[in-house]
Amino acid sequence: METLLELEGVCKNYPSFTLRDVGFTVPEGSIMGLIGENGAGKSTTIRLILNEIRRDGGSIRIFEKDNIKDEVSVKEQIGVVFDESCFSGEFRAKDVDLILKRVFKAWDRDLYRRYLRDFSLPPEKKIKEYSRGMRMKLGIAAALAHRPRLLILDEATSGLDPVMRSDILDLLLDFIQDEHCGILFSSHITSDLERVADYVTFLHEGQVVFSRAKDELEEHLGLLKCGASQLDKLDSSDFLRVRRGSFECEALVADRAAAKRKYPELVIDAAPLDEIMLLYAKGENS
Ligand SMILES: Nc1ncnc2c1ncn2[C@@H]1O[C@H](COP(=O)(O)OP(=O)(O)OP(=O)(O)O)[C@@H](O)[C@H]1O
C-alpha cells in the first residue's frame, strides 16, 4: 500500500506560535482526521502541505514526491476544500468550470456537471447567492472534478447543519471506495471524525500528541472519573492528563484494560475524542 502523504519533523515558526516536529502519514484508502483546538496549528499544517507558506524544517512527501520540488505535478492530483469558498462571489458555478478546465489537465466537465446536479447547485446563480452549505458543496464538486487521489479538507463541515454534514461525510466515504485515494480532513467536530476517520492525528499547541488508528484509540485509551480525594490516592503515573473539577475529576489513561484491572472499583470508559481534546486543552499533566 502506497503512502499518499507523509510529514516528518515539520516545523514552522511564527512570532507567537511554533509548529514543532509534526509528523504523520496518510495511507491509500484511508481518511486521516486532524483534530485540535482553535489555534492548535491545523490550518498551518495544511498550508505547509500545499506549500502556501514556507516551512522552517522537516519534510513533506506527497505520492512519495517532494511537495515543493514536485509541486506542479503533485497538485494536479490533490483536491482542496477550505472552510470558505475560494471563488469570487460574482462567479457562477459554470464560470468555475471554465476556469478550472484550464488549470487541471484531468478536469472532467461531465463529472463536475453531474455533481452540480446531484448537489442541486444552479450553474447560472452567482456564488454569493448560494447558502454556506451550497458554497461548501460547490467547493467539494470543484475539488473532486479533476479526479484527485488526495483530498484535503480544512474545516469543511463546520457551520453546516447535521443533514448537510452527513451528506458530505457520505460523499467522503464514497470517495475512498477507490482504494488508491485518501483524505486528510481537519475538523474540530469530533463526532464527524469519529464517524468517518480511520486514523486520527491530534495537534495540541503546535505539536502532535498522537497519530494513531481510531480503532486503536477507542480500544486502548480510557477515561476515569472519580472524586478529588479518591484521585489523590491513585497512582498518578497511570494518567496522561488529569482535570480536577469541584465535584468530579477526570483522568485519561493510556491503557484502559490495565487501569480496569488495577482499579476494579472505578468506572473507566472508552475516551471520546472531544473528552481527549478537553483534557489536553483544560487539564494538567498528572
Ligand atoms: N501568518 C501568520 N502570522 C503569524 N501567526 C500566524 C499566521 N498564521 C497563523 N498564525 C498563528 O498560528 C497559530 C495556529 O493557527 P492555525 O490557523 O494553524 O490554527 P488552527 O488549528 O487551524 O485553528 P482553527 O481551528 O481556529 O482554525 C495561531 O496562533 C495563529 O495566530
How would you write the pLDDT of the chain (286 residues) with one tens digit per residue?
789 999 999 999 999 999 999 999 999 999 999 999 889 999 999 999 999 999 999 999 999 999 999 999 999 999 999 877 677 777 888 888 988 898 888 899 999 999 999 888 998 889 889 888 888 889 999 999 999 999 999 988 877 888 888 888 998 999 999 889 999 999 888 889 999 999 999 999 999 999 999 999 999 999 999 998 888 889 889 899 999 987 889 999 999 999 999 999 999 999 999 999 889 888 888 7
Q: Report pLDDT for 131.
A: 86
Q: Which three cell numbers stand for residue 282?
A: 483544560
Query: Pairing between strand 222-226 and 207-213?
Result: unpaired
Atom of ligand 1 nearest to the CA of 203: 21
Range(s) of the chain covered by CATH 3.30.70: 221-285
Strands (E), the chain: 3-14, 17-27, 31-35, 57-62, 65-66, 78-81, 150-154, 182-186, 199-204, 207-213, 222-226, 239-244, 249-253, 267-270, 284-285
| Other CB atoms within 10 A of residue 96 CB | 22
| Largest distance between two CA atoms of the chain | 67
Q: What is the pTM of this model?
A: 0.91
- With a 6 Å cutoff on the Cβ, whether 40 touches ligand 1 is yes
| Other CB atoms within 10 A of residue 36 CB | 25
- Report the candidate in 209, 262, 269, 264 with the shortest Cα–Cα distance to residue 251: 269
Q: Report pLDDT for 203.
A: 96
CB 200 within 8 A of CB 217: yes
Atom 12 of ligand 1: nearest residue by CA position: 17
Helices 93-103, 132-144: crossing angle, 10 deg rounding:
30
Q: Whole-angstrom Cα distance, residue 105 to residue 91?
A: 22
Atom 26 of ligand 1: nearest residue by CA position: 38
CATH tag, 3-214: 3.40.50.300
Q: Whole-angstrom Cα distance, residue 78 to residue 142?
A: 11
Range(s) of the chain covered by CATH 3.40.50.300: 3-214
Exposure string (b/e) for 266-286, b if CB count within 10 Å is 16 or more?
bebeebbbebbbbbbeebeeb
The class that CATH gives domain 221-285 is alpha beta
Query: Pairing between strand 65-66 and 78-81?
Result: unpaired
- With a 6 Å cutoff on the Cβ, whether 12 touches ligand 1 is no
Q: Whole-angstrom Cα distance, residue 201 to residue 210?
A: 6
- With a 6 Å cutoff on the Cβ, whether 42 touches ligand 1 is yes
- Report the candidate in 90, 49, 93, 43 with the shortest Cα–Cα distance to residue 70: 49
Q: Whole-angstrom Cα distance, residue 68 to residue 279?
A: 36
The pick from 12, 17, 202 for probing ligand 1's pocket by mutation, whose C-beta has the most ligand atoms within 8 angstroms, reads 17
Atom of ligand 1 nearest to the CA of 206: 14
User: Distance, CA 111 to ligand 1 centroid (Å)?
Assistant: 35
Q: Report pLDDT for 202.
A: 95
* Residues sharing a CB contact under 8 Å with residue 236, sequence separation 6 or more, in sequence order: 242, 286
Q: Whole-angstrom Cα distance, residue 7 to residue 57?
A: 11
| Other CB atoms within 10 A of residue 148 CB | 21
User: Distance, CA 133 to ligand 1 centroid (Å)?
Assistant: 24
